[in-house]
Amino acid sequence: MVVSTFNGSTPLSYSNGTTISLSTFSLNSFVNVEKGDPVAFRPYWEKVRGECAVEIKGDECMSYFGDTNNLCWYMVPQMRDAILRLHNVVGNAVTKDKFLVLGTGSSQLYQALLYALSSSEPSDHPINIVAAAPYYSEYKDATDILQSRLFQWTGDAVLYDKDEPYIEVVTSPNNPDGTLRIPVVNSGARGKVIYDLAYYWPQYSPINYEADHDVMLFTFSKCTGHAGSRIGWAFVKDIEVAKKMIRFIHLNSIGVSKESQIRAAKIIGVICDGYQYLKSIESDHLFFDYCKRLMKERWEKFKGAIEQSKVFTLTKYPTSYCHFNKDLSEQYPAFAWLKCVEGIEDGERYLEKLKIRTRGGERFGVDAKYVRISMIGTDDEFIELCTRLSNAKIE
């Protein structure tokens, strides 16, 4: 397979036969693996760019409304159908008897859920929001910024011992450490759970069960890599919760961009067509197969670099049966979660000296010995990251 180059720079061969650009990094420039911008899958989309093109004419997509017969009135029917079809192809979630709520990214849906799952009346006791550490750093920030009287960030779910209602956010596979998770709060209090399944797609994790929870979040960003479209969705069992979320999104952004919905529906359609009609062709043409191979190859290179450096240890992941790939499969998380060996107390600062920008453990509710590294940046970035990591030595 031939993949076009990035930024017009010189192509270089990559061990799986793909081509990449020559490194544009100078010794003084930073490799920024701090954010989780999912551009790694761009070479796939370059191959099928024509098939994914959409044309929107001047008189189209003008209304605030997408489908007045749907509870989620701003969602266009193509978007709804595409999401249901995708889950049907992948088998990662039970969608029957649930309400589908569309959001401007799952970030918006997270805040919509905080509102929808809290009591309707402000009280002296805002509901406690918890997640087991290390947790996705944006949950805390997205909760705190609202300074709400309905809910408050309370921190690590493992430590929660209050006799007060709570909402636990369970991210599985987890950001930052890739672990598969279940709720952990061990208190007699009344609790609700938000399952954030942003990374429960075959390129990152074996699909070992069909998730069937009362509240589940998904995002187009991490599924296909099209983070810029800002499309996320929630499956919600309780109609009252769904209605409150839709009211929040009404007041927050009066729905979700129709242009984004149409593009996302088209792209999802291309993925599903591949699996439903073109299975006989080379698996490199199938989106999840291509991406899983890319992630596997990256993880192998990355583990090699970490072993060579002897400065960090890595989380170990179990192998399990993937119903989508019909084989035993490892996990290839979107982030690597590193722990420094004895003698290095601050991983982010240590890597900063090697000109590698990461996000330190404290942002995720644990100590500074840990750092998170994005595994889904450009090939250029990734190769330079491995080179710099393999040269790391204890001072």
**Of 203, 178, 267, 201, which is closest to residue 231 (Cα–Cα)?**
267
HSE-up of residue 22 (Cα within 13 Å, Cβ side) = 5
Question: Closest distance between ligand PMP and the C-beta of residue 315, in Å?
Answer: 16
Rounded Cα distance, 39 and 379, in Å? 9
Question: Closest distance between ligand PMP and the C-beta of residue 47, in Å?
Answer: 23
Residue placing its CB nearer to ligand PMP in the complex, 253 or 390: 253
Phi, psi of 221 (to 5 degrees): -50, -50
Residue number, nearest CB to ligand PMP? 105
Q: Rounding to the nearest 10 degrees, give the CA dihedral for residues 253, 259, 265, 269.
A: -160
Using DSSP, state whether 193 is helix, strand or coil: strand
387 close to 31: Cβ distance less than 8 angstroms: no
Question: Closest distance between ligand PMP and the C-beta of residue 311, in Å?
Answer: 26
Rounded Cα distance, 313 and 281, in Å? 39
Residue placing its CB nearer to ligand PMP in the complex, 223 or 286: 223
Residue placing its CB nearer to ligand PMP in the complex, 132 or 305: 132
Question: Closest distance between ligand PMP and the C-beta of residue 163, in Å?
Answer: 29
Taking each helix axis from N to C end, the angle separating 105-117 and 137-144, rounded to the nearest 10 degrees, works out to: 60
256 close to 73: Cβ distance less than 8 angstroms: no
> Which residues form the interface with ligand PMP (CB under 6 A)?
36, 105-107, 136, 171, 175, 196, 198, 219, 221, 227, 232
Residue placing its CB nearer to ligand PMP in the complex, 196 or 381: 196
Please report which residue ranges of 91-229 form alpha helices under DSSP H.
105-117, 137-144, 220-224
DSSP 285: G
Residue placing its CB nearer to ligand PMP in the complex, 42 or 355: 42
Question: Closest distance between ligand PMP and the C-beta of residue 343, in Å?
Answer: 31
Residue placing its CB nearer to ligand PMP in the complex, 99 or 204: 204
Question: Closest distance between ligand PMP and the C-beta of residue 204, in Å?
Answer: 11
